[in-house]
Amino acid sequence: MNGLYDEFRVALHSVWTRRWLVLGVAWGICILGWLAVASIPNRYDSRARLLVDVNQILPDDVQTSNGRQQIDQIRDTLTSARNLEKVALTTGLINSGAGEREKAGAVAMLQKNIKVVPQQDNIFEITSAIAVGSLSDADNAKLASGVLDSLITVFRDDQLRGGRMNAREGLKFLDAQIAEREKALREIEARRGAFEAQNIGMIPGGSGSPAQRVDAARAELGQIDSQLVSAQAQLAAANGQLASTPATIPGVGGVGGSVARQQLAGAQNELSSMRSRGLTDAHPDVIALKSQIASLKAIADREGAGGGGGMQNPAYASLAAMRAERQATVSALTARKSQLMGDISRITSQQIQNPGIAAEYDRINGEYTASKAQYDKLLAQREQVRMRGDVETETDAIKIELLDPPSKPTSPAAPNRPLFLTLVLLAGLGGGVGAAFALGQVRTSYATAAKLERASGLPVIGSITEVVTPDRHIERRKRLVWLASGAGALVGLYALLLVAEFVQRGMVA
């Protein structure tokens, strides 16, 4: 323990004997360090909070993008290079005639020092950190809040103008596409009309392709077959009942005008009415009614040939009318079946004889259907874009609200200059002590007799104490005063720098 204490005393004596070196090194380090700290510009921070709300006014099927996507886009475009260039021009960081390099430098500086931090889904905190060495502290503080003010203003204007411009550009693009599709549709219609006129005898009428018409005819033919079987069965049942029923009741006087003749007259009147409406003899209803009239004539003739033998049987007349009606139904279904089979045979024959014409007609129809579907889709999209443009123009589709305006900084956020000044002072003192101690280690000297004895390996008989004369003592006191004055001046300069720092901060406030 005593050895360690002796070593400490020796080191302290070595430093004290070189105290002027300690003071000189401390002054040198402090001056250089304080100059470096003074060259660091103060950084002033400003903060603002922004609320971005997307109004969901239109239904979901009309919205082109959901609110979350729009908010993400807003966050990405808030600090875009175009917006920051406008901010730099507005705040005076660059002038209107600046070159591309100056603009790029200003934009890069703003991108580095402006941060957008999302606090919630639609609330953002925007911070700006400004430390321009060529500006004063007051100008940097003013610029920090001015940058955020300008950024928010530019962003609001761009969102309002951008929504309207996007709607107009979208409508213009869709109008051009619709006009192009409409022109293509007209060309296809003209081509189809010319093709039909050129092949009028080879293309069956009706809507749809030949294959579609054949399928429809076959489906209807299947239904008619089942209906025809049912009608024929009902007709056979009516014939059986009529055969087993007598036409007259023997021994009973007749009545003027039989039922069959009355029904015949009514059927003839109905046939005249159909022809007056423009129905031809090929119409299924006319064919059925003519068949019924023929049956009623036969019944009436039989009644006339055997007249006077008795009263006509009402049941027989009713069954005869029922049979006539069912015969008419069977005739109509048979005629329709024959017509459908003829249509199928004609279309199939045309396809076999002219396969290229049918294929070309199908291709033209398919092209028309595809173009028509695209045309209708573009019309629907144009209406959606128009509605969204009206919403963004007439209402606040995107609402931007300033929750907290940009703060006006009154003190620098960085650097912590008082701390840096103190650290430089301590570094200077430590450097001076370290330099004196290192120099004492390099130069060979022995502060005590014991150290000399250990170093030489020879016994030391004794040591002579320094005798200080009065004049020497006065000179040492003067040097000590000078040393204290130098150290005091160093500490005083440190205190003066601290006072200047706080005064400068007060001037900004």
DSSP structure string for 358-410: HHHHHHHHHHHHHHHHHHHHHHHHHHHHHHHHHHHHHS-SEEEEEEEPPP--S
- Integer Cα distance of 371 and 304 in angstroms: 69
The pLDDT value given to residue 357:
67
- Report yes or no: 391 and 397 within 8 Å, Cβ to Cβ: yes
Residue appearing with tokens 């009644």: 303
CATH topology of domain 44-174+388-404: Bacterial polysaccharide co-polymerase-like (3.30.1890)
Per-residue pLDDT of the chain (509 residues; tens, 9 = 90+): 556 766 677 678 777 888 899 999 999 999 999 999 988 888 888 999 888 776 544 444 444 445 456 566 666 677 788 888 888 888 888 887 888 888 888 888 888 888 888 877 678 888 988 888 788 878 888 888 888 888 888 877 766 655 555 566 667 777 888 888 888 888 888 888 787 777 655 555 545 556 677 788 888 888 988 888 888 888 888 777 777 777 666 544 444 445 667 677 777 777 777 776 767 777 777 787 788 888 778 777 776 554 444 566 677 777 777 888 888 888 888 888 888 888 888 777 766 656 666 677 778 878 888 888 888 888 887 787 777 666 555 555 566 778 888 888 888 887 888 999 999 999 999 999 989 888 877 766 666 666 666 766 777 777 777 666 788 888 888 988 998 999 999 999 999 999 988 887 776 65
The pLDDT value given to residue 493:
94
- Integer Cα distance of 390 and 379 in angstroms: 17
The pLDDT value given to residue 445:
66
What one-letter code names the amino acid at 497? Answer: L
Between the two ends of the chain, the Cα-to-Cα distance in Å is 57
- Integer Cα distance of 333 and 22 in angstroms: 128
The pLDDT value given to residue 398:
61
The pLDDT value given to residue 160:
61
The pLDDT value given to residue 492:
94
In what helix (H) or strand (E) does residue 30 lie, and over which residues does it extend? helix 19-39
| CATH 3.30.1890 in the chain, residue ranges | 44-174+388-404
The pLDDT value given to residue 457:
73
- What pTM did the predictor assign? 0.47
